[in-house]
């Protein structure tokens, strides 16, 4: 098992760099399709923290990527506003998304592209965990 951790300021510029760093670490561990899914889901999650969690306020985001035999896990923690209760459960499926809509797809992409998703909010902050299997169940 290996684990890499990062802390950034909650800005869109730093989100781009963190997304690339996490994808680079996962590049040798995931098949190409899963890697693209990780990159999109993580970018959506981090952007949502900046745009909706902190909503222009200063803050930090920590992220950790853990590689285990069966999966790659990305854990994102922040001190911004929590995701509204039930929002992940209500997110539409990838099949129902309109590709031309410019916003409102982030939660659905996170749910649809990860193999498992867990979200918890507590007084000390929020924690989103996205897990990606290292190979498809049929493979």
- Look up the domain containing 66 and give its range: 2-133
Q: Distance between CA 117 and CA 37 in Å, rounded?
A: 13
What pLDDT does residue 50 have?
97
3-state helix, strand, coil in the chain (%, to 5): 40, 30, 35
How many domains, in total, are found in the chain? 1
3-class state of residue 1 by DSSP: coil
User: What percent of the chain is modeled with pLDDT above 90?
Assistant: 80
Q: Is residue 139 part of a domain?
A: no
Q: Is residue 50 part of a domain?
A: yes
How does DSSP assign 91-104, residue by residue? PPPGGG--TT--SS
pTM for this entry: 0.89
pLDDT for 89-134, tens place per residue? 888 665 554 444 444 458 999 999 999 999 999 999 999 999 999 9
What pLDDT does residue 1 have?
87
């Amino acid at each position: 098992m290996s684990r890499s951790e990062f802390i950034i300021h909650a800005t869109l510029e730093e989100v781009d760099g963190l997304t690339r760093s996490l994808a680079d670490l996962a590049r040798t561990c995931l098949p190409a399709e899963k890697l693209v899914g990780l990159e999109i889901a993580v970018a959506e999650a981090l952007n949502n923290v900046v745009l909706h969690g902190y909503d222009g306020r200063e803050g930090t985001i920590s992220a950790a990527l853990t590689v285990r035999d069966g999966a790659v896990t990305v854990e994102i923690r922040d001190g911004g506003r929590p995701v509204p209760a039930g929002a992940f459960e209500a997110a539409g499926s990838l099949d129902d998304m309109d590709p031309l809509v410019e916003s409102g797809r982030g939660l659905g992409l996170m749910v649809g592209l990860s193999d498992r998703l867990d979200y918890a909010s507590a007084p000390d902050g929020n924690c989103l965990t996205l897990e990606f299997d290292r190979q498809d169940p049929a493979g």
